[in-house]
Amino acid sequence: MADLATADIGMPEQGPTLGMPRHHMAIFAGLFAFMLVAPFFLYPVFLMKVMCFALFACAFNLLLGYGGLLSFGHAAFFGSASYVSAHAAKVWGLTPELAVLSGTVVAALLGLVIGALAIRRQGIYFAMVTLAFAQMIFFFSVQAPFTGGEDGIQAVPRGRLLGILDISADRTFYFFVLAVTFAGLLVIYRIIHSPFGHILKAIRENEPRSVSLGYRVNRYKLAVFVMSATLAGLAGATKALVFQLASLTDVYWTMSGEVVLMALLGGMGTVFGPIAGAAIVVTLQNYFATFGAWVTVIEGVVFVVGVLLFREGIVGVLSRWLRKPL
């Protein structure tokens, strides 16, 4: 009940939450160091895909793992940002950072509109409302003239960073994606370990008590929904430039299902769990691509085995074994 006690006084817990714990700093530093040298040994586009989906999964985990809100429509924010970013880069000729920013802003606005309506319901009804809105975005993407329909937006230029540095090459663009991803992850980390984050956990654990303490619960839910949508949009906007393509796959309902799988497999409510889950799922998709439609079956088997063996997620179980929050 530490989270509720924290919420009672509206202040963060004392101790390591006031600063990043040493083991968290070590993990972030080690991960960053590995990703710095990884493109010299592994395919950069594969690594960039992992980073984009890791950010997407962490954004979703912020909503589900810490806000307690299960959304089946996060593909709407990921995909809409992807389309806007691709259109901004190809048609408007914006530089990559402005193209990514434009997609992220659109995702934030979309999250504000959808969130304001969805938070009026709870539980499975909330999930179904988000799914319904996501399907509306999908059908809009099929019909809208600027999305290219089933062909999507292809041959999206990566352009020059700040209008100066050419980052069109995969290995050069990789470091732009690395910077965006780690910036997003650190923002999520700060949100989780802020007083706002502790109140979110209190609402997740005992919403009636939080209401009785005077917190305007719906405002906190809307705030975390918009934050999650914004960061999901950041991932989608970056992904469009990575593959130089925005397609219907980005807004299809299966994309929402994949991000749920990543968060649960890695460890819902953990900092590093969604990163591990995204890395596993993307790796399976990449290296088992030759199996065609059977990739989905393989993912399903991995998910079932993971849930049976690691009910708290892979990182969640490791955290319990090590007795340290991960």
Say if CB 191 and CB 211 are below 8 A apart: no
- Which residues have a Cβ under 8 Å from the Cβ of 291 and sit 6 or more positions away? 298
Torsion region of 69: left, alpha or beta (phi above 0 gives left; psi -120 to 50 gives alpha): beta
User: E-assigned strands of 94-189?
Assistant: 153-154, 160-161, 165-166
Q: Which contiguous run of DSSP H or E holds residue 245?
A: strand 245-246
Q: Is 49 exposed, middle or buried (0-12, 13-18, 19+ CB in 10 A)?
A: buried
Q: What is the pTM of this model?
A: 0.88
Q: Is pLDDT at 106 greater than 90 in this prediction? A: yes
- Tell me: domain 2-252, CATH 1.10.3470, correct? yes
Give ∠ CA 322-66-130 in degrees, rounded to 5. Answer: 135
Say if CB 221 and CB 156 are below 8 A apart: no
Tens-digit pLDDT profile for residues 186-204: 999 999 999 998 999 988 8
CA distance 256 to 271: 20
Looking at the chain, the whole-number percentage of residues with pLDDT higher than 70 is: 93
**Where do the domains of the chain lie?**
2-252
Task: State residue 19's pLDDT score.
Answer: 67
Q: Is pLDDT at 109 greater than 80 in this prediction? A: yes
Tens-digit pLDDT profile for residues 244-286: 888 888 898 888 888 998 888 888 888 898 999 999 889 888 8
Q: Can you read off the two tokens belonging to residue 77? A: 């924010």
